[in-house]
Structure 1
């Protein structure tokens, strides 16, 4: 591989849109007034604009899948540990590395490279020498697929997003899968996600010098200060709640091979400057209720385009697999892509 650039992210990957006092506002190639998402928003914008066919993203609460959905690309969050990371993320075992590409097949080939072993990452999985391109075209006939429009708790899904994802679920039926409309049965784990994230932000904040703190993105500073309010007991309780969620999803995936949901509840929104509004948990992730649960459970999940809004903005379908089912997620995404090819934005 020839590496030729680093794209923009918000500072410390702290939010689902890409802006910072240092780099300004990143914009969406489909509509320059809109955000490309985040935190891997620069990656998504670069791939959508055709600057490069392959890009690496990080995903701590949706940061590969959100930009993929907003920019109309394919983005995969692999099973945690499948892609080694060094140095380890300060955000711990919710942070995944994954490919962001113009096609599913490109992502499969990229996985063959980035999943190579690295002994420096003690959290990485044992090396799996599989070729992710093998079996990619085997389709979804006979697979048991769950489809959840809201995960049982998302109350504000944009109607065009809901309609496109519903149509995608029907397409899986036409491809031969058995599709059931069913919710996994857990409550919104947003408090778990934000609690663990804010505590980590507070730890990072305390590694910065006073001069660095003075110029840090105000959104990240707000997150860190919220983390300072949590006690050790509260953090341990969050870890226990995360374990309960992981067990529930492990059992749910005994009944189903895949789970389909919207990738994000809304299309790309207005591109805003850093510190645009006071940071709070609902503002941080309330508009993407489908992404962060699967960072907590560490399952593989992808976003693949499934349509456009009336305004011409991409909509993403999320495909979630069982733990270690990365190849199955890629296979399902390729089956869908074969009947719904990924479109590219028209660039002036």
Structure 2
């Protein structure tokens, strides 16, 4: 390990110090690999680590900096990739015993390709629950991923390995997927930053069977890094026919603050009588809202028109688990007997859904999008808890005492915004008395990713929660 503690530096700082010659990408890579070696037995964040390849990439980056030929802000930055993305020359196991370890992909997914072209140092692939189906990260293939803040607690899911890697200094940043909260749930549980951008902002290939519920998103330790990473990977790719046209930079106007910004604060999305928000979580989120008000935001406590929770949750579950059925069905007869029993149960439950059922669920989704979109004409951003509880026992599938163990029940503040395709950012806003992180969620209208990032940056400019780490 180096004496510089590069593993806790943001990518923006690493890039500047690589440019000045104060630090080398090789130093940063070596320290990240050291952190992986030290923590991996307890945390289990990685499916595979490639130290020799990573060091070779770091040395190539070092030569570029020495020749004043940097490829940009990702050059030399230690990076991990969620095992849901395909990467040239590697398998994508997706947490499943159904996947063939010998199947090596011939090309990169769009985000991975952009990172490779930018000179990122690829440390390895991070863990995921089977086919990214739930809000915790455990699988028959790779075991349980835990939380660097408390290795008895879950890191969340489905991008739990990526979040644990970033939180533990096992790489500076990562890229994850989010179909119902999968970058934001683990960000809240691990004290990191994650953005689910507007759907289509980051192109996806191969296409997701979860359809337009599925997004890709940056996972970092700061909003500034998340904006940098989004700018890098949020570039149109011809393999994704649903991608958006080239968008304005997420980092544009990042430091403009929130003075005059119309902020809607909703403690529980109007579902207070149905969702038991942990008192410590509620208190930290309320204080975070005060921080935004003190910075000049015009805060109004008001609930968005998300409608009846049971109705939209039924619609989401049908859309989600019919998609999961399509994933597993491609592996043929007998696949349901091999996969996670919880996933198999839900696939069987929705197996008889008709086209009419699917269209009815899509109509619920469309109306939710319309109602919230119109409502946003009066509010620039919405803020609420990312999660109603802090991280819980990694051996469990739900918080203690939760009435319904299925993940959609205890993640009620994340998946609605996959239905609407809005940008949603999770930033750390405090810690419970047990030392577990709490997340604040900032949601904006579709296509207003830069506005969401700006609000998050304003919060981080006057707080230091994002600078905390398990060694501090």
Tell me: CA distance 1:64–1:302, structure 2 relative to 1, closer, same or farther (3 Å): same
Does the aligned pair in 2 maintain the 1:29–1:347 contact within 8 Å? no
In the alignment, structure 1 residue 118 sits paired with structure 2 residue 237: yes
Distance 1:344 1:27 in 2: 18
Aligned partners of 2:397 and 2:379: how far apart in 1? 41
1:346 Cα shift? 2.5
- Which residue of 269, 273, 290 maps to 1:170? 290
Q: Displacement, 1:231?
A: 2.1
Aligned partners of 1:3 and 1:166: how far apart in 2? 38
2:339 corresponds, among 189, 196, 216, to 216
Question: Quick one: distance in 2 between partners of 1:221 and 1:274?
Answer: 15
In the alignment, the residues of structure 1 paired with residue 195 and residue 262 of structure 2 have an alpha-carbon distance, to the nearest angstrom, of: 21
| Cα distance in 2, alignment partners of residues 281 and 204 from structure 1 | 25
Q: Does the CA-based 8 Å contact 1:65-1:75 persist in structure 2?
A: yes
Gaps of 5+ in 1: none
What is the number of equivalent residue pairs in this alignment?
345
Asked if 1:151 is matched to 2:269, the reply is yes
Indicate the structure whose relative CO is greater, using CA pairs within 8 Å and at least 6 residues apart. Answer: 1
1:335 aligns with 2:458: yes
Question: Which runs of structure 2 are paired with 1:120-135 in the superposition (5 Å)?
Answer: 120-128=239-247, 130-135=248-253
CA distance in 2, matches of 1:273, 1:181: 34
How far did residue 212 of structure 1 move?
4.2
Q: Does residue 345 of structure 1 match 2:345?
A: no
**What are the Cα deviations for residues 192-240 of structure 1, in whole angstroms up to 9, with x where unaligned?**
1111111111112211134544321112211211220322211110001
Indicate conservation of the 8 Å contact 1:48/1:73, yes or no: yes
258, 276, 300: which is aligned to 2:423?
300
| 1:182 to 2:302 alignment | yes
Aligned mates of 1:246, 1:228 — CA distance in 2: 26
194-203 vs 43-52, greater mean Cα deviation: 194-203
User: CA RMSD for the aligned pairs?
Assistant: 1.9
Q: Structure 1 residues 274 and 296, CA, compared in 2 at 3 Å: closer, same or farther? A: closer
Query: Does the CA-based 8 Å contact 1:72-1:343 persist in structure 2?
Result: no
**How do residues 53-202 of structure 1 correspond to structure 2 at under 5 angstroms?**
53-128=172-247, 130-154=248-272, 155-185=275-305, 186-188=307-309, 189-202=312-325
Given candidates 309, 315, 337, the residue that maps to 2:438 is 315
Residues 221 and 467, structure 2, Cα contact 8 Å, conserved in 1: no
Within 2, Cα distance between the matches of 1:201 and 1:316? 28
* Unaligned ranges ≥5, structure 2: 1-119
Deviation at 1:347, TM superposition (A): 4.2
Q: Which moved more, 1:16-25 or 1:3-12?
A: 3-12
Q: Partners of 2:225 and 2:452 in 1: how far apart?
A: 14
**Deviation at residue 63 of structure 1 after TM alignment:** 0.4
Whether the 8 Å CA contact 1:156–1:265 is kept in 2: the answer is: yes
TM-score by length of 1: 0.95
Summarize the Cα distance change of 1:238–1:281 in structure 2 as closer, same or farther, 3 Å threshold. farther
Q: Does structure 1 retain, via aligned residues, the 8 Å contact 2:155–2:186?
A: yes
For the pair shown, the structure with the greater C-alpha radius of gyration is 2
Alignment-derived partner of residue 241 in structure 1: 364
Q: CA offset at residue 293 of structure 1?
A: 0.6
| Inter-partner Cα distance in structure 2 for 1:117 and 1:332 | 25
Task: Choose 65-74 or 201-210, whichever is displaced more.
Answer: 201-210
| TM-score, reference length from structure 2 | 0.71
